[in-house]
Amino acid sequence: MSERLDRVAALYDEVAAELERAAAHAAVAAQHFRDESVPRGSAHAWAVQGHLREAQARLDEQAREHARLSTTDV
C-alpha cells in the first residue's frame, strides 16, 4: 500500500473511532435522560457533539486533500 493511501486509511480509522465514541456517549446520554439526570445527560450529549465535530474535521481534511490531488476533465 502506498504511503498516501495508508494515511487515508488511518484517517478513516480515526473517523470510525470518533463515531464509535459518539455513539457510546449517545447511548449513555439517553439512559441519563431516561433516569431524569439532566446534567449528566447533557454532558454526554455535548460529548456526542464534540466527537461528531472531530470526525467531521477529519473528513474535511480528507476532502481538502482530495481536492488538491484531483484533476478535472472539463
Q: Print pLDDT tens along the chain (74 aa).
A: 799 899 999 999 999 999 999 999 999 999 999 999 999 999 999 999 999 999 999 999 999 988 998 887 65
What pLDDT was estimated at residue 71?
80
The pTM for the full model equals 0.85
| 29's grid cell | 446520554
Q: Structural domain boundaries of the chain?
A: 3-64
Single-letter amino acid, residue 2: S
Which pLDDT value is given to residue 1? 79
- Cell readout for 19 is 463515531
**Per-residue model confidence (pLDDT) at position 74:** 59
Count CB neighbours of 42 within 10 A.
13
DSSP 66: H
d(CA 41, CA 33): 5
CB 18 within 8 A of CB 51: yes
